[in-house]
């Protein structure tokens, strides 16, 4: 076995592009990839479960975590705070477990500064028209929230050059295939193994 650190996959894209659905499909296909559960001050939507979809916190609880330096990254998005708890991420990566963060661009930028070896993937909608109809169609936001999310979309797309890969999400299963290919290629990058490959064969040679 050649040892390697886990991959940190950071998936971003405008609201409604479908990044959450793609990530869920990847987790279903790869039981050994872990999806990080974020903390947020946003209210739970119908069916969302504390500890599964998010850790739903009050503003005071969130601020306390900020003060205690418990976030890997955090950002204010559409009037609410969202953050990735540090706990478990670094440990998982050190143990060789791959982790997905489904986060927006401000947070992804912070992650890139502290963890440049992460893999940064941007999910695009096929068109802005399609994006709007997806946001409206899922029926989880008020009209005001829909407008806010849609009007941010182009600003977000302009930040795509901070990312390593993009996926145009026309069909979830095809997009998940593309993400799977990105993961496979990244896992075989020589730089991720440092001297582990040489060490493994050196050990074998000594036994031959």
What are the structure tokens assigned to 180, written together?
């799977």
Shortest distance, position 102 Cβ to ligand 5GP, whole Å: 5
Shortest distance, position 142 Cβ to ligand 5GP, whole Å: 12
Region label for 167, one of left (φ > 0), alpha (ψ between -120 and 50) or beta (otherwise): beta
Direct distance between the N- and C-terminal alpha carbons of the chain, in angstroms, rounded to an integer: 17
Shortest distance, position 95 Cβ to ligand 5GP, whole Å: 21
Q: What is the bridge-based pairing of β-strands 98-102 and 33-35? A: parallel
Nearer to ligand 5GP, 5 or 149 (CB): 149
Closest CA to 195 of 4, 47, 26: 4
Nearer to ligand 5GP, 139 or 204 (CB): 139
Shortest distance, position 122 Cβ to ligand 5GP, whole Å: 12
Shortest distance, position 202 Cβ to ligand 5GP, whole Å: 41
Chain contacts with ligand 5GP (rule: CB under 6 A): 15, 38, 42, 73, 75, 77, 82-84, 102-104, 106-107
Using CB atoms within 10 A of its CB, is residue 114 exposed (0-12), middle (13-18) or buried (19+)?
exposed
What are the CA-CA distances from residue 89 to residues 72, 101, 117, 205 (Å)?
A: 9, 10, 14, 35
What are the structure tokens assigned to 105, written together?
């661009």
Nearer to ligand 5GP, 5 or 40 (CB): 40
The residue sitting closest to ligand 5GP, measured at its beta carbon, is 107
Nearer to ligand 5GP, 84 or 169 (CB): 84
Shortest distance, position 121 Cβ to ligand 5GP, whole Å: 12
Nearer to ligand 5GP, 128 or 192 (CB): 128
Give the C-alpha separation, 49 to 115, whole Å: 29
Contact between 172 and 130 (Cβ < 8 Å): no
Nearer to ligand 5GP, 8 or 103 (CB): 103
């Amino acid at each position: 076995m050649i040892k390697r650190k886990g991959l940190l996959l950071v998936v971003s894209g405008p609201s409604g592009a479908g990044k959450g659905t793609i990530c869920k499909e990847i987790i279903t296909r790869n039981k050994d990839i872990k999806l990080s559960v974020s903390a947020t001050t946003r209210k739970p939507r119908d069916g969302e479960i504390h500890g599964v979809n998010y850790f739903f916190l009050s503003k005071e609880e969130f601020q306390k975590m900020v003060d205690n330096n418990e976030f890997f990254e955090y950002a204010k998005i559409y009037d609410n705070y969202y953050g990735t708890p540090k706990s478990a991420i670094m440990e998982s990566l050190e143990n060789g477990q791959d982790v997905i963060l489904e986060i927006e661009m401000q947070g992804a930028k912070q992650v890139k500064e502290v963890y440049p070896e992460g893999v940064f993937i941007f999910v695009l909608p096929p068109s802005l028209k399609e994006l709007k109809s997806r946001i409206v169609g899922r029926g989880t936001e008020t009209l005001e929230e829909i407008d806010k999310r849609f009007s941010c979309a182009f600003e977000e797309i302009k930040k795509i050059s901070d990312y390593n890969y993009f996926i145009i999400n026309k069909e979830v299963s095809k997009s998940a295939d593309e993400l799977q290919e990105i993961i496979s290629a990244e896992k075989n990058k020589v730089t991720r193994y440092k001297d582990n490959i040489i060490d493994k064969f050196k050990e074998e040679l000594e036994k031959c």
